[in-house]
Structure 1
């Protein structure tokens, strides 16, 4: 691979396909794709502060800052994501658009907020790329021109 980020929809999907291909050729355990937090902050800072104030009764958004940028891992035919309960609902709606993808496992660790979701992704790289992009856009609210990085292959 010669590039590791993309911001336009078609280029992001090409990045995902290239990353999946490189991952498979290298025989690595998994690949990790991460949304650029700068693209998310511009659209969500006001919402995050407002939501945090409503939920906690104060203006601290430390919890949101600790969560970091949304990421998606892929390996051995499985897509792995961490999400909130609301994001899990959005993920389930996305899965309705991709009938070949199914939730294999939900893990709710006691020591952490949220849910780790493992989705079987027995599909070709192009279909996996479409799914990944849709998850970034509809589950994690990445803007349509948001940048995604291939951070580990």
Structure 2
């Protein structure tokens, strides 16, 4: 594998296919794909119209920082299985997306008490192209990533 990131739908799908192929050729336990994009909360877009808009901002800074510092979406693939973490809302969107991919089935849901969200393991008994399509659709539909999202193959 000679490149490790892509930022258009077509290139992201190709990157996923290349990463899975490299993972299989190396016999590694899994490959990990990480989405990266600039997050700007809607309420923070643009400049304030007056100083009054920034009143109380200090109290909200820690909450806003927590949202911005959330871990970016990631998807792992190994042994015909996709592994990803979802919030409750993302899990609902994932279940809806799976209707379009009948060869993909949820095998395990795990929601540890100390974690916010659910770890999902999905059997992916499909060719590498279909898996890449699923990963791309997951980024767009489940995680609602912007079209300009960069995907990194961070572990192969």
**Shared fold (TM-score, shorter chain, > 0.5):** yes
- Higher share in helix: 1
Q: Aligned pair in 2 of structure 1 residues 77, 47: CA closer, same or farther (>3 Å)?
A: farther
Task: Quote the residue 2:17 is aligned against.
Answer: 17
1:84 aligns with 2:80: no
Task: Quote the residue 1:46 is aligned against.
Answer: 42
What RMSD, in angstroms, separates the aligned Cα atoms of the two structures?
1.8
Gaps of 5+ in 2: 45-58
TM-score (norm 2): 0.85
Task: Quote the residue 1:37 is aligned against.
Answer: 37
TM-score (norm 1): 0.86
3-state SS, counterpart of residue 73 of structure 1: strand
What is the rounded CA distance, in whole Å, between the counterparts of 2:133 and 2:83 in structure 1?
Answer: 15
Gaps of 5+ in 1: 49-57
What is the rounded CA distance, in whole Å, between the counterparts of 1:144 and 1:65 in structure 2?
Answer: 18
Query: How far apart are 1:142 and its partner, in Å?
Result: 1.1
- Of the structure 1 ranges 11-20 and 29-38, higher mean CA displacement relative to structure 2 is found in 29-38
C-alpha deviations, 1:83-139, integer Å up to 9, x for none? 100000000011001010000000000111100000000111000000000001111
How many residues are paired up?
141
3-state SS, counterpart of residue 61 of structure 1: helix
